[in-house]
Structures are given as structure tokens and as C-alpha cells.
Amino acid sequence: MKKLKKVAKWLGLVMLVVALLGGGFYMIYLRPFIQKMKVVQTIQYDKDLTIVIGGGGNSGIITSDSLVIVVDTKMDEAAQELYNKVKAIAGNKAVLVVNTHFHPDHVGGNKLYSGATVLAGANYGKEGWIKEAGEQSLPNKWLSERLDIKMGDDTVSIINYGKNAHTESDVFVYSHKRKLLFGGDVILNKQCPIIMGKGRARGYLEAFNYLQTNFDIKHVVPGHGEFGGAEVIEDYYTYFKDMKLAAADASQKDALLNKYAGWNSIPFVMSPKATLKAFGKEGE
């Protein structure tokens, strides 16, 4: 009996320490990150394109005389705000929602767009989607290859990349007239990636190569972080090449990791070290 009491006391102490550590992790790393994520900034790029940064994944609203394309629907209050904006812009026009991938911070607002076409990459399958993002956000149309849509004097290409990079069915949206790419979470601006599920560090490198070979990109809306130019892809390409090198060459590891000390990160899950580890695990 005495022994049991002792064990219980120890267990209580261990649980308290774990809770304190967990709470500390939340306060120090997660809370500032979540707060930052909630800040929303609207950029009127031109009369037919509105870019909405933050509030979950970055979004875009592209208009023509008859159609409004919404790229990613955000989460929580920001999803409702984006929806209100889309409603005001679209009026009675048809709405096509495009999801760059199935993570909840990019598809949380899907449920608001009743009557709209909601399009996402086909590789997830219905069950895979529901498991990751829930039934409420389920798309009603799946894209297995590519869709080109005439939007006034522009053509907007929606491409299911579909080769495991950030996920197994990343979708890119490219405006030919503007030479502007929505990269989803395959391209982030000064933020480390989260590589999980079917995501592959090497897949990112292949995706950057694919994008630079097939598209003339001058402007980039990343999945998270500020809107920018072609350097946003170039920087992310360099980051991944650096982490691949760091995984292979211990003598350069520290210097390469330190290069990205100023980037948005969360220890263990979203950090240069985590990316390096992903390269190590994938092998050659």
C-alpha cells in the first residue's frame, strides 16, 4: 500500500512536469505562431485579383465577367471574413473554390461555399480527405491533371502536381497574364515546412524544378508568409538544397542550420533540423 502511494506520488510529479513543459512549449513557441497566423492582410493586386495573406493559408480571389475563383478558404474567423469578401465581389457569378491541399488551415472555410464547385487534387481520395480534414470540407470535384480556365484576357491554369511533395496531391494555380503562382504549402516565405504524412523533402526539390521548368514565374503567393517575387521560390529551393547538404555533410551542418535561424519555426516539427532529419530518413 505504501509502495502504491509512493508510485502515485511519483506519477503525479511526472505528470505535473510534463504539463508544465507542455504549457511552456505552447506559451513560448505555439502561441506566438498562432497569433501571427491570425493576422490578415488584403492586397488589391489589380482589379481582378485580390490576395488575402494570413488567417490560415494565404488566399486569392480571381474574377472574370462570369466566374470567381477562390484559392484556399482559410480557417476560423478569417474563413468567414474571406467568404464575406468573396460574396461582395462575386454577387451572382459562379464561384469555383480551389484547394491547394487538404490541410485544415487551407480548407476550413469550404463548408461556407454551399452551391459552389469545390475542387481539389484527386490523389487523396474521399476517405483520405475525410480523415485529414473532415467531411464538412469535402470537395465535390477532383482534379487528376490540369484545368485551364479562360478568365477575361487571362488563362488560369489549375494543376494537380500529384507527386508527393508537401502532400500527395498538391495543387498549383498559375495566372499566365500576371506570371503569378499560388504555390500552396510547397512554397512558403521564410517559414520552415512541416513534412509529415506522405510529404517528402526530396519531393519539394522535384516540385521546384518542375515549376521553374514549366512556368515563367515573376510573382508568388506562398502558402504562408508574405507575397513576393520569383525569389520566394529561389529561397525555398536553396533552403531545401541546403538541408539536403546538411544531412549529408556533418562538417557543414551547423553553418547551414544557422543560416535559417531567422525563419518562422517550431522546434521538432517545423524547423531546419526537422527538414534535415526528413532528408536523412528518406535516404538517397
The footprint of Zn ion (CB under 5 A) covers 103, 185
Q: Which of 63/74 has CB closer to Zn ion?
A: 74
Report the residue number, 152 or 197, with the smaller CB distance to Zn ion: 197
Closest distance of CB 69 from Zn ion, Å: 20
In this structure, what C-alpha cell is assigned to residue 191?
A: 517559414
Closer to Zn ion at the Cβ: 105 or 242? 105
Indicate the pairing of strand 94-98 with strand 67-71. Answer: parallel
| Minimum distance, C-beta of residue 30 to Zn ion, in the bound complex (Å) | 16
Diameter of the chain measured on Cα atoms: 81
Of residues 67 and 78, the one with the C-beta less far from Zn ion: 78
Chain-centroid distance of CA 280 in Å reads: 23
- For 20, phi then psi, to 5°, come to -65, -45
Question: Which CB atom, from 193 or from 272, has the smaller least distance to Zn ion?
Answer: 193
Cα–Cα distance for residue pair 50/61, rounded to 1 Å:
5
Query: How far apart (Å, rounded) are the C-alpha atoms in residues 245 and 252?
Result: 8
The distance of closest approach from Cβ of residue 103 to Zn ion in the complex, given in angstroms and rounded to an integer, is 3
CB of 205 to Zn ion, least distance (A): 18
56 CB contacts (<8 Å, ≥6 apart)?
37, 72, 74, 75, 76, 78, 79, 105, 106, 108
Closest Cα partner for 150 from 119, 170, 177, 181?
177
